[in-house]
Amino acid sequence: MLYYLFRYLDELGVPGAGVFNYLSFRSAAAVITSLIISVIIGRSLINYLQRKQIGETIRNLDLEGQYRKQGTPSMGGIIIIASILVPVLLFARLENVYIILMIITTIWVGLIGFADDYIKIFKKNKEGLAGRFKIIGQVGLGLIVALTLYLSDDVVVRVNVTAPTGVTVASADMSDSQQGEELLTQTTAVNIKSTTTTIPFVKDNQFDYSWLVPFAKGKTKQLLGWLVFIAMVIFVVVAVSNGVNLTDGLDGLATGTSAVAGVTLGILAYVSGNIIYADYLNIMYLPNIGELVIFAAAFAGATVGFLWYNSYPAQVFMGDTGSLTLGGIIAVFAIVIRKELLIPILCGVFFIESLSVMLQVSWFKRTKRKYGEGRRIFLMAPLHHHYQKKGYAEPKIVTRFWIVAIILAVLSVVTLKIR
């Protein structure tokens, strides 16, 4: 909102108003604002939750330090959501389709998480929102994101098209036989709808989902490519949002790793939305995607600010309100900047945490059928509880997971050049 006000003031010739035209200034303002909001709102919300005795019920009381956490205020994800949305509404261009998608994502998954926490805390139902309703909500978000990317004319990829001199770009889609004559050519940049994404560590690092349907031709192939893309979007949204939810088991663990992922995605969005850097790095250029740097800045500020109260020993937990929101944001952000295939690296901590649960459950069920009693791979899943059982101190586990997250983030950025 302030962006539009200062743009109007700049048109009137007010000195200094033009600073809001700079993405760097608005990003800096967003991160500072989100930090301030998270710290101020955080203290007030924690006091309110303590007065209302809205606390966390800990299931794994046999783990060291869990008795201390019993009754700690939960639903702190509200702090994160407010600290993201307010700076974005103030400093971002709200007509930008990517910003609109991220705002919808934040509110949508935030409501799913809030419903889950509300049922657990106020309805005294430890199971919370039924799993099928969570999945339905996540699939619904995936459909919204995928269909928006498919239908919106503002979602395009810029490519270089070589056309005969004198022939307009619009008519350059003629067949090979029609272009058989030896004519002078010119290269023109055009924006097109595409199911192309980025694949890491490959020299020509573009991958088109339509390649997965080689049996189709023409428009049918393009349509089926979009259907594959939609399925991929839904899978990524569900997987990452639940991955962060599983990781949220130690003080500051999910918050810190999410902050690292958010900063990395902001860097990737910046270079993808800057035509000079995109050309230099030989990566896909996405017009108007640079505006997401402001969202990434607000996201980073909100998570770091929340760590002020969520670091060990935590004064507040984010609950599903926060963890599902963080996961949904990371998933959708990666999708819209065409970096979803980078998620296993960038979100490696979330991936391993989810994998540990899946392996533990599947192995337990398999051995129970075979031997009559279930056996375990880990002392406890998710993985961070395995290390707790081994006697590692909680801050040591969290810090080491943060270090791993930073290493994976650096590796994700390095993929821009190493391929």
Question: What are the pLDDT digits (tens) for 375-394?
Answer: 999 999 999 999 999 999 99
103-107, long-range: CB within 8 Å, 24+ apart, which pairs?
104/141, 104/144, 105/141, 105/145, 105/328, 105/329, 105/332, 106/81, 106/325, 106/328, 106/329, 107/81
Indicate whether 116 belongs to any domain: yes
Evaluate the omega torsion of the peptide bond into residue 87 and state whether it is cis, within 30 degrees of 0.
no
Indicate whether 188 belongs to any domain: no
Domain limits for position 103: 23-156+208-414
| pTM of the shown model | 0.89
Indicate whether 314 belongs to any domain: yes
Give the per-residue pLDDT at 177: 31
| Number of structural domains in the chain | 1
Indicate whether 187 belongs to any domain: no
Give the per-residue pLDDT at 333: 97
Give the per-residue pLDDT at 10: 79
Bridge partner list, 197:
207
Evaluate the omega torsion of the peptide bond into residue 344 and state whether it is cis, within 30 degrees of 0.
no
Indicate whether 15 belongs to any domain: no
For residues 402 and 159, give the distance between their C-alpha atoms in angstroms, rounded to a whole number. 37
Indicate whether 72 belongs to any domain: yes
DSSP assignments along 142-172, one per residue = HHHHHHHHHH-TT--EEEEEEEETT--GGGT
Q: Looking at the predicted structure, is the pLDDT value of residue 166 above 70?
A: no
Among 84-98, 123-137, 220-234, 255-269, whose mean pLDDT is lowest? Answer: 123-137
Indicate whether 5 belongs to any domain: no
- pLDDT tens across 247-289, in order? 998 999 999 999 999 999 999 999 999 989 988 888 889 999 9
| Residue 406 in tokens | 């930073």
69 vs 57, 58, 312, 387, CA distance in Å? Answer: 8, 7, 10, 18
For residues 357 and 378, give the distance between their C-alpha atoms in angstroms, rounded to a whole number. 9
In which region does residue 34 sit, left (phi positive, over 0), alpha (psi from -120 to 50) or beta (all else)?
alpha
Indicate whether 353 belongs to any domain: yes
